[in-house]
Amino acid sequence: MRNFVDLHIHSTASDGTYAPADVVAMAERRRLAAVALTDHDTIDGLAAAQKAAAAFGDLIFVPGIEVSAKFPQGTLHILGLAIDAASRDVAALCRQLRAARDDRNPRILARLREMGMSIDMQDLHEVLGATPAGRSESGRIIGRLHIAEAMRRKKYVANTKEAFGKYLGNGCPAYVDKERLAPADAIAAIHRGGGLAVLAHPVQLKYGNTAQLERMLRQLIHDGLDGIEVYHSDHSDQQTRLYLDLAKRFKLAITGGSDFHGRGKDYVFLGRPRVPLSVVKQSAPRLLGN
């Protein structure tokens, strides 16, 4: 019996270090019931992952994406789960998100240069190239985790955590915001692409107290939100219980995942925390098909 799922995973299509087919194979080795690929701002890995999953008869593959949206404080990421990879609306969304990154990355590098850290696009391509992508580097999503890894290689920082803590994190000197969609627009794009819109890692919203989190949730539900990522590697047991309670009260779909990035975040493991298949299935029957 396969009893657990992982519905939040990154691959080399964005800032993970394992190729799409490899993360699917890892999910199979862990005997997961279902696995979703949710790369930042791209669906480029979905075809390869889907193909790999088809070879494993008992593993359900859920095509997904992770989109950042505008938010006054903290981080608002929305997962689009069970999206249609062939949707023109999803393709248009990805083009828009990629353009925002192309505008932002050089500005981050300029800030770092001002602080005496010389990282150029060539360095970033070396970071991408060192991963077993098996596909053209130029098409890949480049983000802050790649920049952090380039900084580590040049010994400006000891590890990527330090890079975020001192320079790249929200509010730090080399932080540059990127053009983001309003939550309602991100959710609408996911819906047009046939997907379920799920609030990723609610802990990262940086709400002050439960009442404030509830207000944020109500607003997002008004914007069309379908579900909440109750289980996530960043959540304490207490937080998980709170999100589970809120999900039930607001009748939201319940999902969860590791947010696995491979070697880029060596403290996160595929399949952890355990996300019960039964809970996801009951709250979101159409998410896992049949």
C-beta closer to Fe ion: residue 117 or 261? 261
**What is the C-alpha separation between 36 and 227, in angstroms, rounded?**
15
Q: Restricting to residues 9-38, name those near ligand AMP by CB under 6 A.
A: 15
Q: How many residues does the chain have?
A: 290
C-beta closer to Zn ion: residue 114 or 266? 266
Interaction between residue 44 and Fe ion (CB under 5 A): no
Binding ligand AMP by CB under 6 A: which of 143, 195, 202, 227?
143
DSSP 247-268: HHHTT-EEEEE--B-GGGGTT-
**What is the C-alpha separation between 160 and 264, in angstroms, rounded?**
8
C-beta closer to ligand AMP: residue 125 or 161? 161
C-beta closer to Zn ion: residue 15 or 229? 15
C-beta separation of 103 from 95 below 8 A:
no
Applying CB under 6 A, which part among 151-159, 161-169, 216-224, 271-279 lies near ligand AMP? 161-169
161 touches which of Zn ion, Fe ion, ligand AMP, none (CB within 5 to 8 A by kind)? ligand AMP
Interaction between residue 40 and ligand AMP (CB under 6 A): yes
Binding ligand AMP by CB under 6 A: which of 144, 228, 230, 280?
144
Provide the minimum distance between the beta carbon of 144 and Fe ion in the complex, in angstroms, as a whole number. Answer: 11
Provide the minimum distance between the beta carbon of 66 and Fe ion in the complex, in angstroms, as a whole number. Answer: 5
Those residues whose C-beta lies under 8 Å from the C-beta of residue 123, and which sit 6 or more positions away, are 150, 153, 154
Those residues whose C-beta lies under 8 Å from the C-beta of residue 239, and which sit 6 or more positions away, are 202, 203
77 touches which of Fe ion, Zn ion, ligand AMP, none (CB within 5 to 8 A by kind)? Fe ion
Alpha carbon dihedral 250, 251, 253, 256, in 10-degree steps, equals: 50
144 touches which of Fe ion, Zn ion, ligand AMP, none (CB within 5 to 8 A by kind)? ligand AMP
Residues facing residue 196 across a β-bridge? 81
Applying CB under 5 A, which part among 88-96, 120-128, 235-243, 255-263 lies near Fe ion? 255-263
Those residues whose C-beta lies under 8 Å from the C-beta of residue 11, and which sit 6 or more positions away, are 18, 19, 20, 22, 23, 37, 39, 45, 49
Determine the 3-state secondary structure of 86 from DSSP. Answer: coil
Biggest CA-to-CA distance, the chain: 56
Binding Fe ion by CB under 5 A: which of 12, 19, 48, 77?
77
Applying CB under 6 A, which part among 55-63, 139-147, 211-219, 277-285 lies near ligand AMP? 139-147
Residues facing residue 227 across a β-bridge? 198, 253
Binding ligand AMP by CB under 6 A: which of 4, 18, 61, 164?
164
Please give the residue ranges that form the binding site for ligand AMP (CB under 6 A): 15, 40, 143-145, 161, 164, 169, 261
